[in-house]
Structure 1
Amino acid sequence: MKRPVLVSTFLLLAAAPALAQQNSCERVRDEIQQRILNNGVPESGFTLSIVPNDQADKPDAQVVGHCANDTQKILYTRTSSANASSASDSAQDGSHSEPQ
C-alpha cells in the first residue's frame, strides 16, 4: 500500500515547480497591474499578458516584466477603450485641440 502513496507524492512534487512558476507569474502580473492602476490608468484601458519569451515580440505591446526564472514575459497593451475615453474626456471638458 505504500507504493500508491509514493507515486502520488512523486507526482505532486514533480508538478510543484510548474505550479509555483505560474503562481509567480500571476503574482508579478497582479503587482504590475496594481502599479498601473495607482498611476491613474483605468482598468479597461490596458491588458497584461503572460507569454513565453519567444512570443514577446508583439506590435503595440511593451514588455513590462518577466517571471518564471525569466522564461516568461509580461506584456502591456493599451486597449481601444482607453483611447476612446481620452478623446471623449477632451471633448466633454470643452477644450479643443484645433485653433479657433
Structure 2
Amino acid sequence: MKKTLLIGLTLLTLSPLAAMASCDSVKADITKKIVANGLPESGFKLDIVANDQADKASGQVVGHCDNDTQKIVYSKTSDGSDDTTSSPKTGTSQDATAQ
C-alpha cells in the first residue's frame, strides 16, 4: 500500500514537468497545422520570443512554450505566392480604362 502511494505521489509531482512542452516541439506542431491548411512553409515564419518581447514583434502570437515564458509569433513572408503586395489584382480600375 505504501509503495503504491509513493509511486502515485511521485507521478503527481513529476506531471507538471511532463506537461511543459519544449519550444521546438510546439513550433513544429504549429508549422504542421499551418502547412496542412494550405500555406507553404516558405510563405510564413515562426519566431520564438520572450514574453516581454512578444508585443514588439511584428506578427501574431500563435502559441506559447517553456512554461509560458516564451511566445511563438507568426508572420507571413512575401515570397511571391501572396499577390496582395507584389502586383495589382486583375479587374481593378486600371484595367477598366484600358478597354
TM range (shorter): 0.5 to 0.7
State the alpha-carbon separation in 1 of the partners of residues 57 and 64 from structure 2: 18
Q: Map 1:60-75 to 2 at 5 A.
A: 60-75=58-73
Q: Which has the higher helix share?
A: 1
For the 8 Å contact 2:57–2:73, the answer to whether it is kept is no
Question: Bigger radius of gyration, 1 or 2?
Answer: 2
Identify unmatched segments of 5+ residues in structure 1. 1-16
State the alpha-carbon separation in 2 of the partners of residues 98 and 61 from structure 1: 29
Identify unmatched segments of 5+ residues in structure 2. 1-16
Q: Which residue of 1 aligns with 2:9?
A: none
Q: Which residue of 2 aligns with 1:96?
A: 90
State how many pairs are aligned.
Answer: 73
Aligned amino acid, residue 69 of structure 1:
N
SS at structure 1 position matched to 2:83: helix
SS at structure 2 position matched to 1:29: helix
After superposition, what is the alpha-carbon deviation per residue over 1:15-72, rounded to whole angstroms, capped at 9, x for unaligned? xx8xxx7x71100000000000000011111100111101111353110000111000
Pick aligned residue for 2:41 from 35, 40, 43: 43
Instruction: Let me know the Cα RMSD of the aligned residues.
Output: 2.4
Aligned amino acid, residue 55 of structure 1:
Q
State the alpha-carbon separation in 2 of the partners of residues 49 and 59 from structure 1: 9
Return structure 1 stretches of 4+ with deviation > 2 angstroms: none
